Structure 1
């Protein structure tokens, strides 16, 4: 028996099976179950890490509130402290678990995002996967930039809200409401900074050209300010103006990148790009002189028909029924 040093050829991987459509429905469901299991393990691991980082994160989020003089009160020893109000006995523990969950989603993001991508990627083409990598690499810095800006907006916006109210001397905020206000602002600014990616996706996929995107500038600016006014929990003008202004700036940056992409791909230089849809296409008139027609061949004689046999008498014709 001959021995071979070459490794045995393995069958197609799960990625190849899902990409070529050879994976059955049960195998898809089983793969989804495994992906969800590993994604859950990543989130649980991040939750454990977040439980130890929850106190540090809480002190960081409470920075804008503790920066106000009205948030400091004297304790029993006569020392000024930054104090929050708690209305329930379990508010402190529940708030710590919420912060730990937020941290767990961020820390475990590489794991659960990879599992999500591994389940979706086989259904995409090669060039679609390439652009997906690019968009993911751009989306993460944009979200972080929006979150950092939201932190400073909360610091200035909270000062305006506290000073413009009727209680200026000593104001203690309820801790759950305050943390919810800060996290909502961070999430809202992070999602708002992803707006140019939608425009770039439409342009890179060939749905909308850069000129068409630029023609929407009035509607886009109006929608940016309307979205900021409605979605921002900050009732002051500072947060709304900052979010709308940043979204407008990112819109024009996306339009500029779209113009570069159209120039690279040659969009707008097609043969029929400058024609109106209702315009009649001009046809070149060709005058061909009419000459004498070709001679017609003489008709051929038709052969005489073959003689027909004399029909038999009725009594000699039989079939299966008679």
Structure 2
């Protein structure tokens, strides 16, 4: 016997408020379980992760002949840091699960066009986020080398492990988010919420905003880190503006044809030979 609220009997997925809360709770539980399982795997990945992010410090020691090492402040800090980092790794490993749960929760409330926009946003934002992470990973050694170069001769860097890991995570996430923002702007434009001309008018404020975010994300007064963060964001920002302006022109032409009495089906119909011939006669007369 089919369930009363199955998709076949309930194609629009209408649910009572209590059922919405129940579904939300179930999806949160599934996401939490996946994160915990990923956190267990994170325990085994913790040491390789520490070795990877410690490599820039080892490079400082090789190039500058100094002691740049991670320092654990107290007895329990190494264990607590391992638990925290493992959970972060688990959250990343479980991303496909909790992203799917989020998608499955909000999809029934979306129209077909909105689903297409949301799916396009995810398919664009995820690669851009990964590109931002890769860019940050490439820039990290140069950043660490530049920051430690200000040490006076004969001094050493005993860096608190928690502070260093927090710096690495913030550094990489800032880069990743900077690559996703242009995708958000294009998405808002496709949905008709924000026009390309509006974004273009605010370009000066955007430059100031980007520079501020880059200064906040960059440690100390490192100008190169600010440049590495601001340059790709501004590049993708102006690419997003170009896409929005092109889409605005396409939408304007479509609205102009609709204003002339054409149906939506006529907008996608190819021009017939008779219509082309008629257009040629009009141009000849002119």
Q: Is 1:270 equivalent to 2:259 in the alignment?
A: no
- Residue 91 of structure 2, aligned match among 102, 105, 112: 105
**Is contact 2:56–2:140 with CA below 8 Å preserved after alignment?**
yes
Which residue in the other structure is 1:32 paired with? 24
* Change beyond 3 A, Cα 1:18–1:169: farther
TM-score, scaled relative to structure 2: 0.81
1:58 touches 1:99 (CA, 8 Å); kept in 2? no
Tell me, yes or no, if structure 1 residue 206 matches structure 2 residue 184: no
Tell me how far 1:9 sits from its aligned partner.
5.9
How many angstroms does 1:35 deviate by? 0.8
Which residue of 2 is the match for residue 256 of structure 1? Answer: 242
Gaps of 5+ in 1: 1-7, 74-81, 274-322
Cα distance in 1 for partners of 2:115, 2:220 equals 38
Q: Tell whether the 8 Å contact from 1:184 to 1:233 is kept in structure 2 after alignment.
A: no
In 2, Cα distance between equivalents of 1:161 and 1:167: 14
Q: Please list the CA deviations of residues 141-162 of structure 1 after superposition, one character each: whole Å capped at 9, or x if unmatched.
A: 1111111222233211221211
1:92 aligns to 2:85 (yes or no): no
> Which residue of 32, 39, 47 maps to 1:47?
39
Tell me the CA shift for residue 29 of structure 1: 1.4
Where is the helix percentage greater, Structure 1 or Structure 2?
2
**Cα deviation digits, residues 30-78 of structure 1 (max 9, x gap):** 11111111111111111111111111111111121211025765xxxxx
Distance of 2:195 and 2:226 partners within structure 1 = 29
| 1:131-280 equivalence runs, <5 A | 131-166=117-152, 169-266=155-252, 270=256
- Paired residues in the alignment total 257
Which residue does the alignment assign to 2:108? 122
2:205 and 2:187 map into 1 onto residues whose CA distance is 19
**More displaced 10-residue stretch of structure 1: 64-73 or 140-149:** 64-73
Segments ≥4 residues shifted beyond 6 Å: none
Name the CA distance, whole Å, in 2 between partners of 1:229 and 1:88: 31
Indicate the structure (1 or 2) with the bigger Cα radius of gyration: 1
Q: Secondary structure, in 3 states, of the residue corresponding to 1:84?
A: strand
Shift of 1:86: 1.6
TM-score (norm: length of structure 1): 0.72
Partner secondary structure for residue 164 of structure 1:
coil
User: Which position in structure 1 is the counterpart of 2:49?
Assistant: 57
Stretches of structure 2 that go unaligned for 5 or more consecutive residues are 260-286
CA RMSD between the two structures: 2.6
Q: Secondary structure at the match of 1:196?
A: helix
